[in-house]
Chains A and B, each alone.
Chain A
């Protein structure tokens, strides 16, 4: 297994929404578990209004969401193998070859057939968007966050509202949070 890791110094700004291939919508019929979330600017603001500032967790999320302009998530889990087309994934990757986009993380396992990637769009040296592609034999997840994102924001999502903690940024032995050893199932 070889894993490529590259991380850029990240600073906040705006970004563009990735076009989800229309073929992805048909996957819902085959999937055993589906998460399909589309929150544009207006809905994000609406959701943010209902995050309580009195609750520390919700207040923290409210602060992070304040910099976002869109949240787009499509996640499918299947009982059987080969339920989605690689061409749909390639269609997304093709968009991420446009100027400004850079793949900062790529974790591929030929044995398991897993392929996980993180892309960041930068404009004038500042982060303008994030795309995560997780393509596994029985799972396909595409996440697109549009807007101003800071590495500590991604890191800080963990531990709030039942969201597990994550690690981001260059490895820092003293400060980096140790990941969970157990695999946690998605709570969807």
Chain B
């Protein structure tokens, strides 16, 4: 059992209510936070979609680049083979002339 002093203390520390507008302020703050969260979520999704698009576009670009590079490489190889063939044939002709001395 509480003594008198403690009862007085309990009375002094009894609950008091907030202002009449407290509930409205809380609900307003909750709504604001939800809006911010949705905006943040939308931003997150937009970033995620942008990242995916970036990866897809990057992959397509890389694929196209690889394809172009492969075509260029094969073309370069063909030209190299042609150049070496011409060089070798000319050298052979010169060699035959030299051997004919």
Contacts and interface: CB of A to CB of B under 8 A. Distances in A.
Interface of A: 3, 5, 35, 37, 39, 43-44, 46-51, 61, 65, 71, 73, 75, 105, 107, 109, 114, 116, 118, 132, 134, 141, 143, 145, 154, 157-158, 161-168, 171, 179-180, 183-184, 186-188
The dominant DSSP class at the A interface is mixed
A157 B85 CA distance: 8
Interface stretch (B14-22, B35-43, B46-54, B70-78): B70-78
Contacts, number: 125
Contacts of B73: 46-47, 49-50
Interface of B: 69-70, 72-74, 76-77, 79-101
Given A47-B77, A73-B86, 18 more contacts: A3-B97, A3-B101, A5-B98, A46-B72, A73-B83, A116-B97, A132-B90, A134-B90, A141-B86, A157-B84, A158-B92, A162-B85, A163-B84, A164-B88, A168-B95, A180-B92, A186-B89, A187-B89
The dominant DSSP class at the B interface is helix
Nearest to B94: A116
A141 B87 CA distance: 9
A142 B74 CA distance: 24
